[in-house]
Amino acid sequence: MPITERNTRIRFGRILLILLAMLMPAGIRADAKTDPLPSWNDGAAKESIVRFVAEVTKEGGPNYVQPGDRIATFDQDGTTWVSHPLYAQAVFALDRIRELAPNHPEWKNEEPFKSVIAGDREAMAKFGESDWEIIIAATHTGMSTGDFLEIVNKWLSTAKDSRWHRPYTELVYQPMIEVMEYLRANGFRTYIVTGGGQEFVRVYSEHVYGVPPEQVVGSSVLTKYEYTDGKPVLLREPKVFFIDDKAGKAIGINLFIGKRPYAAFGNSTGDREMLEWTQAGGGARLMMLVYHDDAVREYAYGPAGGLPDTNVGTFSQALMDEAKKNGWVIISMKNDWKRIFKFEE
């Protein structure tokens, strides 16, 4: 082929590109293969996630999963954001009692309202299920679904955690956000499956997790169809419709999602059935539990492994034993997470 000015330019350009590639620092060249989980330390937990994604997305492989079936479910409290010393939604309910108290003078002499208004922490620590049912009924019902959304939005815009003094929506676990994003980048639909209030979580799920409201499954109250000023509204009634906890999580997944997950993430005894249900599907499945063993950067509680017992997100020794028996992956917050929150340096 005759040498022309154009051919010379092409050859020179190729040589220049090769030289630049050789001179480029290895760290820069590696950008094409960026770590999808930068907030995770290298180890078995991180490797399990990456290996699982590789297996289910390899076309022609024995564990390949069609994109339409790639579903991952995440508990919320203690799995994707902080749940101690008290669930954020419980704090919301207590704050709302104090806000509504001037309109209910009788509450000063009625429990559990009396203890909440007085700020009696010792008494509130002893609240049982019936006490919380009364509090939830007084603070979460008797209004339209639209009004409830506005109330929650207003609270979230001002409420701050007592330890970090940051909005609750900033106390999400960055490592878990990265897992969600990594899964979605590989064709998964991610769902929040929480024992908390479905309508409460739907207010912020898309902004905080990238999970749209229709992909949130949670506990809910009955709603009633009525007319206000000639317009249809859904009114929240003080009656339980569905409790999305323990066995209810597997039931809720079947009822609202309609397909079994290929990956499930939890942190407590309330998530056991969700992980069992996921694993029972066969094939490549990923079941992971967040173990809160970092009292310095977050909290440490169990009682599995001899950690302090708790009624908020109990991780029992029985759950730990079942996880090990079934090959579920235990995520050590202390050892597996390089950083916990996005705001950390």
pLDDT at 24 over 50: no
**What's phi and psi for 239, nearest 5 deg?**
-135, 140
- How confident is the model at residue 15, as a pLDDT? 47
- Domains of the chain as residue ranges with CATH: 44-56+67-81+161-336 (3.40.50.1000), 85-140 (no CATH)
Q: What is the mean pLDDT of the chain?
A: 92
Q: Give the predicted TM-score (pTM) of the model.
A: 0.90
| Mean pLDDT along residues 215-221 | 98
The model's pLDDT over 74-125, given as tens digits with 9 standing for 90+, comes to 999 999 999 999 999 999 999 999 999 999 999 999 999 999 999 998 999 8
- How confident is the model at residue 11, as a pLDDT? 52
Residue 27 — very low, low, confident or very high, per pLDDT cuts 50/70/90? very low
* CA–CA distance, 286 with 276 (Å, rounded to integer): 11
The model's pLDDT over 285-294, given as tens digits with 9 standing for 90+, comes to 999 999 999 9
- H-state helical runs in the chain: 5-23, 26-29, 44-57, 88-100, 113-118, 121-124, 129-140, 145-158, 174-185, 198-202, 205-209, 247-252, 272-279, 317-326, 333-336
Paired with 337 in beta bridges are 40
- How confident is the model at residue 18, as a pLDDT? 45
Q: Dump the DSSP string for 119-135.
A: T-HHHHTT--HHHHHHH
- Contacts with 136 (C-beta within 8 Å, 6 or more apart), sequence order: 93
